[in-house]
Amino acid sequence: MEVSKPRSLSLPSRARRSELQSLPPTPPDTDKEYTDSSSEPTDTESGISWSQHDRPNAPILPLYHLPPKYKPDNTVLVEDLKTPDNHVTRDPRLIRLTGIHPFNVEAPLSDLYDEGFLTTKDLHYVRNHGAVPKVEDSEMMDWDFTIEGMVDNPIRMSLAQLIQNYDQHTYPITLVCAGNRRKEQNIVRKTKGFSWGAAGLSTALWTGVAIGDLIRAARPQRGARFVCFEGADKLPNGYYGTSIKLSWATDAERGVMLAHKMNGETLPPDHGKPLRVVIPGQIGGRSVKWLKRIIVTKEPSDNWYHIYDNRVLPTMIDPEASADLPDTWKDERYAIYDLNTNSATCYPAHNEELSLHQSEHAYNVRGYAYAGGGKRITRVEITLDKGKTWALANISYPEDQYRLASEGETLYGGRIDISWRESSFCWCFWDLDVPIPRLQAADDIMVRAMDEAMMVQPRDMYWSVLGMMNNPWFRVVIHKEGHKLRFEHPTQPALMPGGWMERVKKAGGNLTNGYWGEQLAGEAEAAEPVQPAKEICMTNNKVNRTITLEELKSHDGETEPWFVVNGEVYDGTGFLEGHPGGPTSITGAAGQDASEEFLAIHSENAKAMLVDYHIGTLDATSQSRLSDGETAAPEDAPPRDVFLQHKVWTKAILSAKTSVSPDAKIFTFTLEHAEQAVGLPIGQHLMMRLRDPVTREAILRAYTPISTNGTKGKLDVLVKVYRDTPTQKGGRMTQALDSLPLGHFVDFKGPHGKFEYLGRGLCTVSGRERRVRRFVMVCGGSGITPIFAVLRAVLADREDPTSCVVLDGNRTEEDILCKAELDAMLVGNEHRYRLNYILSRPSSAWAGARGRIDKELIAREVGSCDGADGADVVLVCGPKPLEESVLSIFTEAGWKKDDMVFF
């Protein structure tokens, strides 16, 4: 490969880095402007502070980089106004990776690179798991944290004491998210993580205290081996926490610190204001923000986020199976600490065009590289022929400039001298001038880096269920288009389209064939791309009305409910009475964006019906302002007495799974506090929502809990798990729920339903009261749950005169759910309760009814409708074939549809 020879790599020996006499090459050319609170003059051409030998009459000034100027006009963005982060100012250039909230972002790759070695708070990547704790400036110095656990001298300390009583240090440190470049893995096969591009890293000057000084003051006990950290960010599965080895924390060479400044300023809220852990050389997930507790322990952290996040599981474990392997998740061999070696090309940028008529003879290809655990990048290599030949790139190490600081020199109140340290904790920059004719002849540019342990980036991807630590060669494709070249990166972050990987996969290419999806000689032609299913039209093309958010919100009540699906506004008033789920299913979405809920649970027929209710389009500004309905209560809001909320999803923690049959389990959820009532009327249901473990799409289903109405603090839901078989797919919701690990959260909302039992024969159906003398209850499988709730309420009241006939259809004896409870309720209630089990595949010992719930059985056990006054009501819940059969049989027998309720 014939390209220009690299400049000197400026690789000082580890033992002599404190004796550097010359600066390494300058980082990106665009790194021009630096600022410091001391207003020291800077060389705006080099981007490096002046030294005395440059200006003999000037004072001695540092040779290292200072932070670029940040944007003074950032404000709270419109997207954040209706989230718990409505107190945080942010840069609109940041790319949101997980929707509006929580805030997980990276900068556009070119913008990040252009800022140079140090990243402003504006473009520094952010990984938040939930809401940002709000800390006023006046409260900062009183912020306290503890050092506890296996220590002889437990410590509680304020930030003011930390600053006053301990030596302060200022170091440049690069933080990298373990998910950096994950989008590439998600294109190959969906992981359980969101799609980071190649800008999930940033570098800043951090000021704080060496954590080893604090731990030594606490005096760890014999046998202590780990240091656990816990933040103040309260999350569905507890406070965020993790751990590292005690020997690492106390090793000055490792550089672990408690930081209270970033680039010379108070920590921004997104970066841990007022105090955080910063762990150089390790994944960003170990650097806990908003620090409150340091716990010295014998074992690694048992925090949910330490166990179920930041792991590289073996590649054969798929998303479906992963959540049901608690011992695998807890295996510390799979935990990620040190970063692996990685690199990426920043220029040419994605979709950048290069004219072949330009005067320059070469193009300067450039990018970044980093390693972990304090190791130094020692070489970066470029190939233009898919790895047949390689060329060494030039490398610049801006971090080395800080090793030139004089002994005792301070910056932002902390000592900057790192001449004694052998480790490297920052990214470096590489570049190589490539003759344009060579680019024109090549199909792609690929880069790989190597560290001083001779660990080199692999050619191929190691796919894992969380999609972390992705570091194969970074490939940029070259397209020849007339008199220009166009460059294409592998992916674009988040849901942004683009990138050769997405293009190749859509064309049917195999991205795991070892040749980046290109067809090999002898391979069969790629199959024709699958044609997408025909889209259901849900809009009336004659409607041409623009609706504002204010108009929408004026219809958020129960009389004229308007709701939004895919930006279109619908009036649900005309369907309040006829909706199978009852009017609350519509009023619960009134004034909100119901896209996710509607599309997840409704059939194609229901989607087509929306045309009749379409009244207009929400204007673009309103669409960006519209909350997704997940408004969170303020941090200081008093605990609610009732768990369920009609319009807001509320989280509960999965705390137990109890098998009651080979394919059915009771899932127990812990509510927000021990005295909290569920808030579900008898006969109604709630909506449950979780994420598909593979696609991360929302799955919503309706369930009726089997908890008694007076139960507080917990919620029991009986679920029949429909698993995949060789001949058909199982249930998405039930399999995902069954795979969910204990300690995970699930979203709930309600109540919903058109039926409610008020007691002693009084009920409401679609909001209208009616008296009932007899309930005919027909169910199958897990359809017993709403029947069970009503039956239990009737029989629990000795003064209730209502009689009940139950027809419970199943395949085998072991499929009968709640049998012990159903049988027990017979005692003392024989005069008003008749129970019938019907089995389609009974054992030879079965003495009860055999077959199915058919016309003869219903005629024998139910008889005719009790008069014309509507005194009988049929309650039905089960598989669709059962419901259709029951409707037909009862209709033929003269029963009115108004006397039948299908849950």
Instruction: Kindly report, residue by residue over 507-546, the tens digit of the pLDDT.
Output: 989 998 888 988 655 555 444 444 444 567 888 888 889 9
Q: Measured between alpha carbons, how far is 661 from 816 in angstroms, rounded to an integer?
A: 8
Per-residue pLDDT, 552: 85
pLDDT in tens, 394-452: 999 999 999 999 888 999 999 998 888 999 999 999 999 999 999 999 999 999 999 99
Query: Is residue 514 within 8 Å of residue 460, measured between CB atoms?
Result: yes
Amino acid in position 514: G
Residue bearing the bigger pLDDT, 799 or 648:
799
Sorted by where each starts, the structural domains of the chain and their CATH numbers stand as 133-334 (3.90.420.10), 546-625 (3.10.120.10), 650-752 (2.40.30.10), 755-902 (3.40.50.80)
Q: Strands 803-810 and 774-780: what pairing?
A: parallel
Q: What are phi and psi of 695, to 5 degrees?
A: -90, -15
Residue bearing the bigger pLDDT, 631 or 451:
451
Say whether pLDDT at 359 is over 90: no
Q: Above pLDDT 90, what percent of the chain?
A: 60
Residue 106 β-bridge partners = 95
Handedness of CA 444, 445, 451, 452 (dihedral sign): positive
Amino acid in position 49: S
Say whether pLDDT at 358 is over 80: no
User: Catalytic one among 180, 310, 394, 471?
Assistant: 310
Q: What residues contact 825, with CB distance under 8 A and at least 6 apart? A: 791, 792, 795, 833
Q: What residues contact 454, with CB distance under 8 A and at least 6 apart? A: none
User: Catalytic one among 31, 122, 270, 309?
Assistant: 309
Strand order from edge to edge, sheet including 238-245? 155-158, 144-149, 291-297, 226-235, 238-245
User: Catalytic one among 80, 104, 128, 177?
Assistant: 177
Amino acid in position 241: G
Q: Above pLDDT 70, what percent of the chain?
A: 86
Query: Is residue 308 within 8 Å of residue 329, measured between CB atoms?
Result: yes
Residue 204 β-bridge partners = 173
CA distance readout (Å), 180 to 192, 202, 696: 14, 11, 18
Q: Measured between alpha carbons, how far is 794 from 832 in angstroms, rounded to an integer?
A: 10
Can you list the positions of beta strands (E) in 828-867?
A: 833-839, 849-850
Residue 305: both structure tokens together: 């986020």
Smallest Cα–Cα separation from 698: which of 561, 598, 593?
598
Residue 411 β-bridge partners = 414
Local structure of residue 287 (DSSP, 8 states): S
CA distance readout (Å), 486 to 349, 443, 444, 475: 9, 11, 11, 14
Query: Is residue 109 within 8 Å of residue 247, measured between CB atoms?
Result: no
Per-residue pLDDT, 712: 92
C-alpha of 243 from chain center:
21
Mean pLDDT of 230-248: 93
Runs of H (alpha helix) within 685-783: 732-739
Q: Measured between alpha carbons, how far is 696 from 98 in angstroms, rounded to an integer?
A: 11
Query: Is residue 813 within 8 Å of residue 823, measured between CB atoms?
Result: no
Smallest Cα–Cα separation from 696: which of 192, 263, 218, 303?
192
Query: Is residue 29 within 8 Å of residue 13, measured between CB atoms?
Result: no
Q: How confident is the model at residue 805 (pLDDT cuts 50, 70, 90)?
A: very high
Q: Measured between alpha carbons, how far is 466 from 479 in angstroms, rounded to an integer?
A: 32
Per-residue pLDDT, 620: 77
Weakest-pLDDT range from 550-554, 775-779, 787-791: 550-554
Residue 366: both structure tokens together: 């450039």
Residue 433 β-bridge partners = 364
Q: What are phi and psi of 78, to 5 degrees?
A: -55, -40
Q: Measured between alpha carbons, how far is 853 from 266 in angstroms, rounded to an integer?
A: 71
Q: Measured between alpha carbons, how far is 25 from 659 in angstroms, rounded to an integer?
A: 65
Per-residue pLDDT, 54: 36
Residue 800: both structure tokens together: 């209730």
Residue 723: both structure tokens together: 């698993």
CA distance readout (Å), 477 to 52, 56, 388, 689: 46, 49, 16, 40
pLDDT in tens, 339-357: 999 999 999 999 999 998 8
Residue 428: active-site member: no
pLDDT in tens, 749-769: 989 888 999 999 999 988 889
Residue 870: both structure tokens together: 């509507």
Per-residue pLDDT, 179: 96
DSSP codes, 420-475: T-----S-EEEEEEEEHHHHHH-SEEEEEEEETT--B--SS----TT--S--SPEE
Q: Measured between alpha carbons, how far is 881 from 788 in angstroms, rounded to an integer?
A: 21
CA distance readout (Å), 92 to 122, 446, 556: 9, 31, 30
Predicted model pTM: 0.69
Q: Measured between alpha carbons, how far is 722 from 742 in angstroms, rounded to an integer?
A: 20
Cα end-to-end distance, the chain, whole Å: 71
Q: How confident is the model at residue 16 (pLDDT cuts 50, 70, 90)?
A: very low
Residue 310: active-site member: yes
Residue 60: both structure tokens together: 């001695």
Note if the bond before 842 is cis, omega within 30 degrees: no
pLDDT in tens, 149-170: 999 999 999 999 999 999 999 9
Q: Measured between alpha carbons, how far is 444 from 504 in angstroms, rounded to an integer?
A: 14
Q: What residues contact 479, with CB distance under 8 A and at least 6 apart? A: 485, 486, 487, 488
